[in-house]
Structure formats: structure tokens, C-alpha cells
């Protein structure tokens, strides 16, 4: 879902450090950094890709990898020009989801294990 996101002013920093918009490595062995912007509680935008999800940065990682960007690229997420989250590699972020217990991460699709239910005998309580 493409949603308009206001353009934020460029952050004062060394030239090119946070302004790289390509995930294509300039030379072998160098990790490329992708800059993402967070908007609201559930929207993330980078390289022309906009996602809306409960974990927007992880969903953005999945979309970037499926769009053909280098899975080894680093992702820096900003909110109002404040760096708030770094993903070591979008390939790693694409394989994670929020842990169902409210803190931490787990591999995508691993699901949580529900608490065992107490067996109730037939015939009433």
C-alpha cells in the first residue's frame, strides 16, 4: 500500500554517510546502508517501497529482499531525523518476526507454543 510520507529535511552529517539510497555495493566487501523512514506507528518507507504492518521495519526488510536488494545490506530506520533502529542485514531482518511474548524476536513461521489446556472430563465440572 503506497501512502504519502512527508519529506524530511536532510540530517547534517558527513557526506553520504546516511544518505545512500542504493543497496548495490560500490566495491566488494563493503556493506551498503539503506535509509528508511518511519511514519506513524506502523509505516516504513525505503527505496520507493512503502509498507504498513505491525512490525514495519521487519516487513520492509522482507519487501526489500524480495525486490532484489542485497540481503547483506544494513538498514537504518529514522523517525524525524533521529536514528531509532539499526538492522544488521535486511536478509536477517526478513527472517524475523516479533516474539509473541512481547519482547524479542523469533524466526518467521516458528509460531508460539500455547500453554497446555487443562483436560476436562466429560460429564461436568
* pLDDT one-digit tens code per residue, 22-81: 444 445 567 899 999 999 999 999 999 999 999 999 999 999 999 999 999 999 999 999
The model's confidence at residue 114, banded by pLDDT at 50, 70 and 90, is low
The model's confidence at residue 119, banded by pLDDT at 50, 70 and 90, is low
pTM (two decimals): 0.66
Contact 48, 63 (CB under 8 A): no
| pLDDT value, residue 108 | 84
The model's confidence at residue 124, banded by pLDDT at 50, 70 and 90, is low
Chain centroid to CA 50: how far? 11
**What's the mean per-residue pLDDT of the chain?**
77
Q: What is the DSSP string of 29-81?
A: TPPPEEEEEEETTTEEEETTEEEESSSHHHHHHHHHHHTT--TT-EEEEEETT
94 pLDDT above the threshold of 50: yes
| pLDDT value, residue 3 | 42
Mean pLDDT across 71-92: 96
Contact 83, 90 (CB under 8 A): no
| pLDDT value, residue 27 | 52
Residue spans of the domains in the chain: they are 33-103
112 pLDDT above the threshold of 70: no
Amino acid at each position: 500500500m503506497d501512502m504519502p510520507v512527508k519529506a524530511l529535511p536532510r540530517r547534517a552529517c558527513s557526506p553520504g554517510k546516511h544518505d545512500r539510497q542504493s543497496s548495490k555495493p560500490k566495491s566488494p566487501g563493503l556493506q551498503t546502508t539503506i535509509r528508511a523512514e518511519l511514519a506513524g506507528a506502523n509505516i516504513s518507507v525505503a527505496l520507493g517501497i512503502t509498507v504498513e504492518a505491525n512490525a514495519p521495519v521487519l516487513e520492509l526488510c522482507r519487501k526489500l529482499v524480495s525486490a532484489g536488494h542485497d540481503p547483506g545490506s544494513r538498514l537504518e530506520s529514522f523517525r524525524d531525523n533521529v536514528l531509532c533502529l539499526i538492522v544488521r542485514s535486511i536478509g536477517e531482518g526478513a527472517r524475523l518476526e516479533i516474539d509473541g511474548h512481547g519482547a524479542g524476536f523469533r524466526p518467521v513461521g516458528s509460531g508460539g507454543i500455547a500453554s497446555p489446556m487443562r483436560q476436562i472430563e466429560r460429564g461436568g465440572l
